[in-house]
Amino acid sequence: MSVSHLPEPAWLATAIETFYASGLVVLPTTLDTALCQQLLAEAQQASLQPAGVGRGQALQLNPEIRRDHTLWLDGSTAAQQQYLDLMAQIQQAANRRCFLGLTHHEAHFARYQQGDFYQKHLDAFVGRSSRMLTTVCYLNDVDSGGELQIYSEDDQPLLQVKPQAGTLVLFESARFPHEVLPAHSTRYSIAGWFRID
Ligand code: OGA
Ligand code: MN
């Protein structure tokens, strides 16, 4: 669906301003409750697979690095379509304000069960990846554990995000190292990337 005719909501303009200034923005209660619940139900019913490390031919399972289970969104349900439409709106706003030339978005459901983690990593390396901007949206609330720990470019702890349903995080993929701390209870999210291809 084309979203070019939709007016840009005020929260999105503000979010992109913050992102433009700092390369990172955390947006609580961005997904509405009904959409979040539908996506959560889909994630809970989906047959998620152990996530790999690396890309293409080099993709390997490595439970010392990451232990989440994932499944790519294919836009086959109304809820996924609604989520991907929101990402398209964000892509358009980011391209307008930050001149990023983003061409598309890919996203997967992810589940971290008790004890699962994802060690500190970057989602992209300058000049070696077409992943430009990372999005993470949380689908359920957790009391403790499973926090997203983000580090600064010089590797100092910068900010911790506690997964709460509807919170959306955006950051530059090649700029901020980050990790998922061990989950204490099951944690569902959608992680995605805006790319230039
Ligand atoms: C990832 C990732 C963070 C999170 O999937 O690459 O860093 O909070 N996810 O789920
Ligand atoms: Mn990551």
Let me know if residue 54 belongs to a domain.
no
Q: What is the pLDDT of residues 125-167, one digit of tens each?
A: 878 779 999 999 999 999 999 999 999 999 999 999 999 999 9
Mutate to test the pocket of ligand 1, among 133, 180, 195 (most ligand atoms within 8 A of CB): 180
In a domain, 35, yes or no: yes
What is the residue whose two structure tokens read 């969104």? Answer: 73
Identify whether 3 is part of a domain.
Answer: no
Identify whether 84 is part of a domain: yes
> Could you tell me if residue 59 is inside a domain?
no
Number of domains in the chain: 1
Cβ–ligand 1 contact at 148 (below 6 Å): yes
DSSP states of 133-163 = EEEEEE-S--SSB--EEEE-TTS-EEEEE--
Question: Is residue 139 in contact with ligand 1, taking CB distance under 6 Å?
Answer: no
42, part of any domain:
yes
Print the domain residue range for 112: 10-48+66-195
- The answer to whether 90 and 135 are in contact (CB under 8 A) is yes
CATH assignment at residue 72:
2.60.120.620
Beta strands in 28-167 (DSSP E): 49-50, 52-53, 60-61, 69-72, 104-112, 118-121, 131-138, 148-151, 157-161
Ligand 1 center to residue 5 CA distance, Å? Answer: 31
Residue 99 maps to a domain: yes
Residue ID of nearest Cα to ligand 1 atom 6: 123
Min mean pLDDT across 37-46, 94-103, 137-146 is at 94-103
Our answer on whether the CB atom of 136 is closer than 6 Å to any ligand 1 atom is yes
- 75, β-bridge pairs: none
Ligand 1 atom, smallest distance to 178 CA: 7
| CA atoms of 119 and 65, how far apart (whole Å) | 5
* 169 is a domain residue: yes
The separation between CA 41 and the C-alpha centre of its own chain, rounded to angstroms, equals 18
Ligand having the closest approach to the CA of 68: 1
Considering the entire predicted model, what is its pTM? Answer: 0.94
Nearest Cα residue to 91 out of 133, 42, 121, 124: 133
- Confidence class of residue 5 from pLDDT cuts 50, 70 and 90? low
